[in-house]
A and B are shown apart, each in its own frame.
Chain A
């Protein structure tokens, strides 16, 4: 197990820049997720860490040693691929044994027939068999040992790929969207299992996903990537409640955060022409954006801050999400309501909306968070 440092790594494919100076420190035995929309460079970053891609500039070091020019096979990392990449001609047991055979046995010892007769080969073979046994026991795939990958289901293949990765004791585990080929139910189950594996092995995990739920539920820290950069890297709580950038706020959270334009008129803030009671410091920008999570918006009859018509209602049983058209139908606000309030949410009905000013986030026109203004107007949240 080891820590990893990625220092201002850039990578371009031809004319297309994929990574624009990414810097990331990963502590020993930490679970870090790289999350972002497709094409944001997260898989490329993982492959740069693995050594399968060479960065154009920047450095990667593992456990304090610079490995930027070290080839993948010598970096002592394990990887689980999106397609699982199991060797189709080998049985499950043989697949899992490959990383150990390649590293512990010499060319001659790997030969069929004579290999077993060479001195030392027997001991190695026994230790490999024991390691394969332990890995398969951990992932509960003992009954599949003699099957070929072609005879396995998607979930079983995924387990074999995991077993092949953790049969060794690598510096870190790299997982490239390992759950994306599973069905929804299996994905939830495997998610919990991978998180548990991480706790049990106490190893460094780097996990690439486009699914924010996976990132939120499994990680110690999340690095949100967009356009080849890391926008923010922090714990799931901070990423959700205290994002640095409007793109992070919009990417994390389902349903999506509400973004409403606010305008400064003199010393006063206005939302859709209605004044807000906050007083602004001088020199704050003219146009700003207000971020409101759906759970921070509530229905109210007394002095609503916003008024609108109910456009759509989604009842999920435990909670209800309603889409309300505000500003004469120009903007749509999503709010979370309790099932008890559903009687108020009739399609087309006019409702009043309020929000907790302490939970509101303010961003400038380019999407950068304006924490200074928030503290002064008293909206900033205290994050544990």
Chain B
């Protein structure tokens, strides 16, 4: 018995030692995560219930006042409308275009590489610099866009009401028009983002087993659409979940274009007042840290729920392997 006990004790101490080593090895990563991720989030969470401003010695607790403003003031209503318009437009279109471009390029031979580079260029370019280029192109009078549109005047293209109106009363101001501003931002977002999705889809497509297409053909899948439904789309399931999640998070983060076009206010009549810009304006420009923190917490909640939905989808619906 004594021997057995001694054995049990050595085993127990060995187990303890192993556990200690494990904690010791995890500690640096854990510490860093707490310091640079969790602590700032908690601090922001706490500050969102105050009226703190940077440089002030103290602050007052204001309770849920910041959040109340967030859901009652018309400025923030515009913020929500602009943000969701952007997300709901940019995500489906940039994912769809990315998939379409990837499928087309995948069926192409050597020339595909050239297109790959062309479509990927906007992803690599600095968005701030690109925004300035777009600003020139969209200039109401000297911009390339409106000049091109003006060439349609006097031709049969005038049957299109948009062209007819433009020729009669001038083409849109684009960046200065509250009906167009957010759509211009959306367009640039799609132009800039779909190349990235395309590359992810191209990677996904290389993993599709070629023999499955032959099996589908033998099984009677005649049209390209049937083969896509039977083989390609299910095989791209994991890629799609990832692409959609990444696109959503990137869409919520849109900031550069808005800041470059309208540094002073988020578009005409705040029509392009997206969330990230609101955080920047309140928290940095106006030094209303409390308000900025409240918007940040909301932003965090959106991104968090997106990630949770992704996890749920991955476990439930998508087939891996």
Using a CB–CB distance below 8 Å, which chain A residues touch chain B? Answer: 47, 50-52, 71-74, 77-79, 81-83, 85-90, 98-99, 102-103, 148, 150, 164
- Chain A residue nearest to B320 (CB atoms) is A150
Q: Known: A71-B222, A81-B211. Contact between A88 and B217, CB under 8 A?
A: no
Q: How far is the CA of A47 from the CA of B219 in the complex (A)?
A: 14
Q: How far is the CA of A169 from the CA of B220 in the complex (A)?
A: 13
Q: Known: A87-B231, A89-B237. Contact between A79 and B319, CB under 8 A?
A: no
- Chain B residue nearest to A52 (CB atoms) is B214
Q: Known: A83-B211, A88-B235, A88-B319. Contact between A77 and B218, CB under 8 A?
A: yes
Inter-chain pairs besides A87-B230, A99-B220, A150-B321, 20 sampled, C-beta below 8 Å: A50-B214, A50-B218, A51-B217, A52-B218, A71-B222, A72-B214, A74-B222, A77-B218, A79-B218, A81-B211, A81-B214, A82-B211, A85-B212, A85-B215, A87-B212, A88-B235, A89-B319, A90-B234, A98-B216, A98-B230
Mask of B220-253 contacts with A, CB within 8 angstroms, 1/0: 1110001000110011010000000000000000
Q: Is B209 an interface residue (CB 8 A)?
A: yes
Contact A102 B220 (CB under 8 A): yes
Contact B321 A88 (CB under 8 A): yes
CB of B283, distance to nearest CB on chain A (Å): 45
Contact B209 A83 (CB under 8 A): yes
List chain A residues, Cβ under 8 A from B235.
88-89
Contact B219 A99 (CB under 8 A): yes
Q: How far is the CA of A362 from the CA of B237 in the complex (A)?
A: 62
Q: For window 182-230 of chain B, which residues contact chain A by CB distance below 8 Å? A: 209, 211-212, 214-222, 226, 230
Contact B220 A148 (CB under 8 A): no
Q: How far is the CA of A83 from the CA of B211 in the complex (A)?
A: 8
List chain B residues, Cβ under 8 A from A87.
212, 215, 230-231, 234
Q: Known: A89-B234, A98-B230. Contact between A71 and B217, CB under 8 A?
A: yes
Name B215's contact: one of A71, A81, A148 (CB within 8 Å).
A81
CB of B28, distance to nearest CB on chain A (Å): 37
Q: How far is the CA of A79 from the CA of B219 in the complex (A)?
A: 9
Contact A73 B214 (CB under 8 A): no
Q: For window 135-180 of chain B, which residues contact chain A by CB distance below 8 Å? A: none
Contact B219 A164 (CB under 8 A): yes
Contact A78 B220 (CB under 8 A): no
Q: For window 274-321 of chain B, which residues contact chain A by CB distance below 8 Å? A: 319, 321
List chain A residues, Cβ under 8 A from B219.
73, 98-99, 102, 164
List chain A residues, Cβ under 8 A from B218.
50, 52, 72-73, 77-79, 99
A-B contact pairs, 25 of them (CB 8 A): A47-B214, A50-B214, A52-B214, A71-B217, A71-B222, A73-B219, A73-B221, A78-B218, A79-B218, A82-B211, A85-B212, A87-B215, A87-B230, A88-B234, A88-B319, A88-B321, A89-B234, A89-B237, A90-B234, A98-B219, A98-B230, A99-B218, A99-B220, A102-B219, A102-B230
- Chain A residue nearest to B319 (CB atoms) is A89
CB of A122, distance to nearest CB on chain B (Å): 21
- Chain B residue nearest to A165 (CB atoms) is B218
- Chain B residue nearest to A150 (CB atoms) is B321
List chain B residues, Cβ under 8 A from A89.
234-235, 237, 319
Q: How far is the CA of A83 from the CA of B210 in the complex (A)?
A: 10
Q: How far is the CA of A103 from the CA of B230 in the complex (A)?
A: 14
List chain B residues, Cβ under 8 A from A52.
214, 217-218
List chain B residues, Cβ under 8 A from A148.
319
List chain A residues, Cβ under 8 A from B216.
98
Q: How far is the CA of A85 from the CA of B227 in the complex (A)?
A: 14
Q: How far is the CA of A164 from the CA of B220 in the complex (A)?
A: 12
CB of A258, distance to nearest CB on chain B (Å): 40
Q: Known: A81-B214, A81-B215, A83-B211. Contact between A102 and B221, CB under 8 A?
A: yes
CB of B273, distance to nearest CB on chain A (Å): 40
Q: Known: A87-B234, A88-B235. Contact between A73 and B222, CB under 8 A?
A: yes
CB of A82, distance to nearest CB on chain B (Å): 8
List chain B residues, Cβ under 8 A from A50.
214, 218
Q: How far is the CA of A98 from the CA of B215 in the complex (A)?
A: 10
List chain B residues, Cβ under 8 A from A98.
216, 219, 230
List chain B residues, Cβ under 8 A from A102.
219-221, 226, 230
List chain A residues, Cβ under 8 A from B214.
47, 50, 52, 72, 79, 81, 85
CB of B178, distance to nearest CB on chain A (Å): 41
- Chain B residue nearest to A149 (CB atoms) is B321
Q: How far is the CA of A78 from the CA of B214 in the complex (A)?
A: 11
List chain A residues, Cβ under 8 A from B209.
83, 85
- Of B216, B219, B234, B319, chain A has the most CB atoms within 10 Å of the CB of B219
Q: How far is the CA of A52 from the CA of B226 in the complex (A)?
A: 17
Q: How far is the CA of A339 from the CA of B65 in the complex (A)?
A: 99
- Chain A residue nearest to B212 (CB atoms) is A85
List chain A residues, Cβ under 8 A from B212.
85, 87
Q: How far is the CA of A86 from the CA of B230 in the complex (A)?
A: 11
List chain A residues, Cβ under 8 A from B217.
51-52, 71-73
